[in-house]
Amino acid sequence: MKKPSIDELKSVAKQVRRDIVDMTAEAGSGHPGGSLSGTEILTALYFEIMNHDPKNPQSPDRDRFILSKGHASPLLYSVLARSGYFDPKLLPTFRKLGSPLQGHPDRRRLPGVEASTGSLGQGLSFGIGHALARRLNKQSYNTYVLISDGECNEGQTWEAAAMAAHHKLDHLTVFLDYNKFQLDDATAVICNMEPMVDKWVSFGWDVQEINGHDFEQILAAVKKAQAVKNQPTMIVCHTIKGKGISFMENNNHYHGVAPTQAEREKALKELV
């Protein structure tokens, strides 16, 4: 397939943001803020970086993606729909009774979902399992995980970090959606994790630090990660919660509060 241009990736990201706004507003619930902050990361993965086939979602050679911050499911659902895993007409059923688009992803209900996530801190462990299976089965896929800064308060995250480095999982790449907020307040107020980069370095990871909304930086970081040997890679992505919508940016009110119908219309005008 022809690789998309940066402008084409930006266009996809804008559509994904429209989907996130529409889905959460239609449901009257959900987590728009952290979905919007990770938009460029998932757009780059699904439309440029990963080897995957929506027509064969269980291909043994597919690259794996784990959304550890499962509450950002609107982001994952939009990207899966727009890349061909299911009809985008299903998106308005988000969080509706009987819909496979549940508040947190369920791999039993939806093609393309690698792990049922939502209990924060566990996604990196899922990723390690896939990376170890790759080695044991002598396969060649890559594993990517998206974690949140709030998850870095979880002990399991650091147990997993130590294990991945110990096993030299150089085909495991983790993106940290570092938007500086979590449910109740700023991350620095709840439990300050700085110096974040130094922590991951000290656990034996190859660490990069980028602007998580810059496609060129995301693509370059993954290319560099693919050349790293005997270490997993952490890409610390500085992002903005609610990115792309003026009244949502850095406004933690929208961590788990959907836009009203009036806010939906206002947001969509900004995403034309």
Tell me what pLDDT residue 2 has. 75
178-228 pLDDT, tens digit each:
999 999 999 999 999 999 999 999 999 999 999 999 999 999 999 999 999
Q: Which residues pair with 178 in a beta bridge?
A: 238
Q: How far apart, in whole angstroms, are the C-alpha atoms of residue 158 and residue 60? A: 29
Query: CB count, 10 Å around CB of 60?
Result: 9
Q: What is the largest CA-CA distance in the chain?
A: 53
The whole-angstrom distance between residue 55's C-alpha and the CA centroid of its chain comes to 22
Q: What is the pTM of this model?
A: 0.98
Where on the phi/psi map is residue 207: left (φ > 0), alpha (ψ -120 to 50), or beta?
A: beta
**pLDDT tens per residue across span 11-54:** 999 999 999 999 999 999 999 999 999 999 999 999 999 999 99
101-118: b or e for each residue (b if 16 or more CB lie within 10 Å)?
Answer: bbbbbbeeebebbbbbbb
CA–CA separation, 50 vs 199, rounded Å?
27
- How far is it, in rounded angstroms, from Cα 271 to Cα 11? 10
74 in Cβ contact with 83 (< 8 Å): no
Query: Mean pLDDT across the chain, nearest whole number?
Result: 97
> Residue 34 is which amino acid?
G
> What does DSSP assign to residue 63?
P
The stretch 247-271 carries a mean pLDDT of: 98
Cα separations in angstroms, 66 against 7, 142, 181: 26, 11, 21
CA–CA dist 239, 40 (Å, integer): 10
Sign of the CA dihedral with 178 first, then 69, 27, and 252 last: negative
Helix (H) or strand (E) holding 200: helix 196-202
Query: Cis bond leading into 92, ω under 30°?
Result: no
Domains of the chain (ranges; CATH) run 6-270 (3.40.50.970)
DSSP character at residue 210: E
Contact 52, 46 (CB under 8 A): yes
Average pLDDT over residues 253-259: 98
Q: What is the DSSP letter of 194?
A: -
